[in-house]
A and B are shown apart, each in its own frame.
Chain A
Amino acid sequence: MKKECENCQIIKNIKNYTKIDYTIGLVGNPNVGKSTLFNYLTGMNVRVGNWPGKTVSKIEGFFEFKTPNNKYVFKIIDLPGVYSIFSFTPEEEVTRNFLFLGSYDIALIVLDATNLEKNLILVFQTFEITSKVILTLNLIDEAKRKGIIIDIEKLESKLKVPIIPIIASTGYNTDLLIYRALEIIQGKITITPAKYNQPPELEQIIEELKQEILEYYPELQNHPALKWITLRILEGDKFIIEMIRKKAIKINSYQNTKTKLPDLLII
């Protein structure tokens, strides 16, 4: 698997760059090694605390990725660690708003291999909002030590999103991760993340409301988060209701990524 990009290289601590090619949003539960990955990639030394009452913020860093034919400058944004994005807490709100409204080329979800189950809520919720995702399985060394064996290919086929196992602390396999992310960003791989189904009676209500929302705001037709938006309105989420009432969703951000597709010629 690693041979795919033998001459790829991550260059940390870049100082001189004229433009940012792509932006990665780093999403994940608390304590899964998000910041470790962030620090490995950017060569920075950031420690993010997530105790209650702390000011919630996101941290940005940069790195360069060299392929045999080209090089790219990446901006990477470390979002606050959350278990879900139901948006009860400020952390969840920051992450949710970033995923829904922020401009990024791919959302990189970091999973903890030693405790997969609790990670998947966030995964499914992210899938509802965006299809620009890639998953990475961190702490695979720790999982091995604990006797946890994960069939990554099977999980990939169920979630329908590439999953790259890494060890963030040593940087093992991170070059493949970025390579695969690049492939997704450039449209070399098309992704339709597994959608999870709501309970049937709820599905029906959502479908009914969805059609009415589309009548009011037809531009949402191809929006990947349409179902999610409908569910938020059904739940009475004031923030989303206001956005839809004002028709303030940036429709073009999604089309933009599609227009970026020609970039893949470079590879």
Chain B
Amino acid sequence: MGKNFEDIIKKAEKYRIKYNNTFRDKIIEDMHQQISTTLADVIQYRETNDFLGKIEKYVDLFLTSRIGGILVLTIMLSIVLWITLSGAGYISSLLGSFFEYIESGLRKIFHFLKIPELITSFLIDVVYKSVAIVVAVMLPPMTIFFPLFTFLEDLGLLPRIALNMDKIFKSVGAHGNQSLTMMVGFGCNAAGVVSTRIIKSPKERLIAILTNNFMPCNGRWPLLIMISTIFLAPLISSSSNPLVGSLIASTALVLSVFVGLVFTLIISLGLSKFLKSLGSFYILEIPPFRKPNFLRILYTSVIDRTVFVLARAVYMAIPAGIFVWTINQLNLSQNITNTLDPFGKLFGLDGTIILSYIIALPANEIVIPALLMLYTGSKNFVEIEQLQSIYQILTVYGNWDWKTGICVMLFSILHNPCTTTILTIYKETQSLKWTIIATVLPLITAFSTLFIVYNLLLKHISFL
């Protein structure tokens, strides 16, 4: 009866190809035009005497302007990082002595119970120490950073910044909302990948997924914070003033975020040239300024972020600790790191750093503990909860200097996503091809960038 339906479908497809899939663009464009004509003589704007409203308008104008927005973003990020860095030290040393206290107590109990040396060493040096390092290194910056970040989010500042960034993202063929997914990526790249659902068009969404990894997630923040504090801050300031030091360290961190941003933009531009487009329209909404709800801020930052992230880190650190301990016990670690050494040296890294990153594949959080255990052979642990002793381990055992610090920071920002993120990417894209690209692309970017930066630049600087 009647018309064959498949013919209709074929005809539709023919039209789609003829118009190069631009129906959506046409419709959206046309719709906007009709909306403007509809509203043309319907809405009037009148000057109001509302003082607050006026201030809000001017603040908005400033924040959403190109220069104002970037200025405020940079200053805010610097302030947040600076408060984090100068505050984290105090909490860190408090936690350090707390863990020492517990450890000596544990040793006494183990000794009293006459537990064999091997088991004591396994339980205390591996299991307990892994947990202690992760907590001591990660908890302090997180307890300060996340409430501050949530505060900015709650204030309504972040959406304004997204609007501002839209102009930049559009120019590289990406979506304005990508800046929001990148901010989620600051917290966790896997969450950032999931949040790309707010980007409606497939092409722009794929770009956002593939580049989210260039935003350092909080598994990487502690490492970045640590290296910038102990290697870069003393490099420039010889003064013992901790405030100056943390100011320099936070500048370094802001710079590393910008490195991530620049790479995001470059890679986005490249990808948008390769991918086919399906038109999309989107609305970036600016919520009214709100009075932040402090209880909610504490809840979201402490429960949702800190505890969740820390629990994952601890959970991943124990098996990694056991792995490192085992290869140390079997005297294998020397062989492995020596084999990897020449490769690492090409990029200003070393074999131990490469091995640490391989071990840390499931979670970036465990790079620091893995590094320390590999360098010290995980037997003779010093008090590594303190930044000063970490510095000693890295310089004495690892032969690190500020160049290594910069290389590791760069690698940390650019390298491949963790397995959780990779799995999430697979879930979201449902494509093995894009998952592999999402994994390999950052890795290639990281190694090629390091190769250039190290061999052409860092190698030749010698003022220290």
Contacts and interface: CB of A to CB of B under 8 A. Distances in A.
Given A53-B195, A147-B47, A213-B8, A199 B35 contact: no
Contacts of B287: 31
A135 interface: no
B4 interface: yes
B interface, over-half SS: helix
B12 A216 contact: no
A150 B44 CA distance: 6
Interface of B: 2-5, 7-9, 11-13, 15-16, 23-24, 26-27, 30-32, 34-36, 38-39, 41-48, 50, 53, 191, 194-198, 200-201, 280-283, 285, 287
A68 interface: no
Contacts of A53: 191, 194-195, 197
A215 B31 contact: no
Contacts of A149: 43-46
Given A215-B2, A236-B16, A145 B24 contact: no
A234 B15 contact: yes
A52 B197 contact: yes
A72 B215 CA distance: 55
A202 interface: yes
Given A121-B31, A150-B43, A234 B3 contact: no
A30 B287 CA distance: 10
Interface stretch (A20-28, A153-161, A181-189): A153-161
Contacts of B281: 84, 121
Contact of A216 (B3, B27, B50): B3
A50 B123 CA distance: 45
A251 interface: no
B8 A154 contact: no
Nearest to B9: A241
A231 B15 CA distance: 12
Interface in A105-152: 116-118, 120-121, 124, 145-151
Contacts of A31: 285, 287
A6 interface: no
A26 B31 CA distance: 23
Interface string A73-110: 00000000001101011100000000000000000000
A70 interface: no
Contact of B24 (A197, A218, A235): A235
Contacts of A261: none
A198 B24 CA distance: 11
B43 A218 contact: no
Contacts of A217: 2
A236 B15 CA distance: 10
B424 to A, nearest CB: 11
